[in-house]
Amino acid sequence: MLAELQYHFRMIASLANNLLRLLSMAVLSGILLSVPAALALPVSGLYQQRVAVENESLAELNRAYQVAFRRMIVKVTGDERWLEQERIRSATGDAGDYVQAFAYTTEEAAGPIAGQRFVEVQFSAPLIDQLLASENIPVWGSNRPSVLIWMALQDATGRRSMLNSESGAEIIEFMRRFGEERGLPIIFPLLDIEDRRNLPADAIWTQDELAIKAASNRYDPDSILAGRLLFTPTGELVGLWQFLFMDEALVFDGFDTDLESYLEQPLSRITSQLSGYFALVPGGQSEQSVRLRVDGIRNFSDYSALVDYVRGIGLVQAADIVSVDGERLDLQLDLRGSADQLFNLIALDRDLLPVNSGDNAGSSLLHYRWMR
């Protein structure tokens, strides 16, 4: 709490010291033509879960708390393995101690669960973060990398097709549900004429990495999962997956007799990999200091938006304004991790465009242009 207050006081002090200069700059430069920001993929409701209940008894509520707690831990950390940690198993039994609020709801929409009673459980983020920090368990922030999924399917007769709402509605529905439950932003290609021309089913089947990357450029994803799936005459599901992330390609196979189990394996694998890359231990000590230089700060509105943006990066423990020079703003950031991690987190937002990006990663000076 003290560190957080100090952080806010420093930001307020810096704001006061630079207010007049920024206002003057705004008057002189005016409002220039804005550049639309790329669509970010923030994940909401990390600490909230909805659980079906049979009734509103205390015993049923406590059961729902425990179910919601386990689901929430997986969503917040991105990795199921933390459920086996002794302290987390113990806390699951006392899940009600971490509940901030709850409310009963009834499913009104038509369908198989129409009339089903649910309890909406909101856990206390500070208490959960404190619990995880006490065990050095990292938290995956709400700004998460997108995953573009391509799939080629082949049935028992040898007919091959691209995954779409007709050939694989069940697959798409499961993947969407997995993404919601695990906080993984999953996107699917349009499969329009351009997609089909650039990436035919055979290219996915042969795991043509160059073709997959080229066809994915129009979606600007943070990672790509390309898979092939063979439905054998005897009911087995046999396939191969390729995960493209951070200029690396990970290839692994898949085999099962149950479709949902088959699909869950690669999705869980890449979710764990992404969370392991981006997640941070809450309240961790500062490990590195870095200078953040941002061009294109044209007025006070830009300045305020940048400050809010930096404040929202979980990796940033403290931020101090070093200098303001025209449309350039320099900040000194104390990080809970490395400059490389900050570079990769900023790349997820696309609000900052790297200047000389090849020199940014691993450097003590990160140079960007504000694009919002």
d(CA 293, CA 100): 39
d(CA 268, CA 263): 9
Strand order in the sheet with 48-52: 48-52, 117-123, 99-106
Count how many domains the chain has: 3
Q: Which residues in 19-39 are b (16+ Cβ under 10 Å) and which e?
A: eeebeebbeeeeeeeeeeeee
> Is 21 domain-assigned?
yes
Same domain, yes or no, for 152 and 272?
yes
Amino acid at site 256: D
> Is 292 domain-assigned?
yes
pLDDT at 26: 34
- Report pLDDT digits (tens) over 44-86: 899 999 999 999 999 999 999 999 999 999 999 999 999 999 9
* DSSP per position, 298-331: -SHHHHHHHHHHHHT-TTEEEEEEEEEETTEEEE
Residue where one domain finishes, among candidates 106, 134, 162: 134
Same domain, yes or no, for 164 and 255?
yes
Residue where one domain finishes, among candidates 241, 259, 278: 278
Amino acid at site 311: R
> Is 139 domain-assigned?
no
> Is 181 domain-assigned?
yes
Provide the domain limits for residue 216. Answer: 147-278
Residues of the chain predicted below pLDDT 50: 1-40
pLDDT at 330: 93
- Beta strand segments in the chain, E: 48-52, 99-106, 117-123, 147-154, 160-162, 186-187, 223-231, 237-245, 248-256, 288-295, 316-325, 328-335, 352-354, 365-370
Taking the alpha carbons at both ends of the chain, their separation in whole angstroms is: 31
H or E stretch including 138? none
Residue where one domain finishes, among candidates 254, 278, 302: 278
Same domain, yes or no, for 247 and 155?
yes
Same domain, yes or no, for 19 and 69?
no
> Is 84 domain-assigned?
yes
- Report pLDDT digits (tens) over 143-192: 899 999 999 999 999 999 999 998 899 999 999 999 999 999 999 999 99
> Is 142 domain-assigned?
no
* DSSP per position, 182-214: HT--EE-----HHHHHHS-HHHHHTT-HHHHHH
Number of Cβ within 10 Å of residue 1's Cβ equals 7
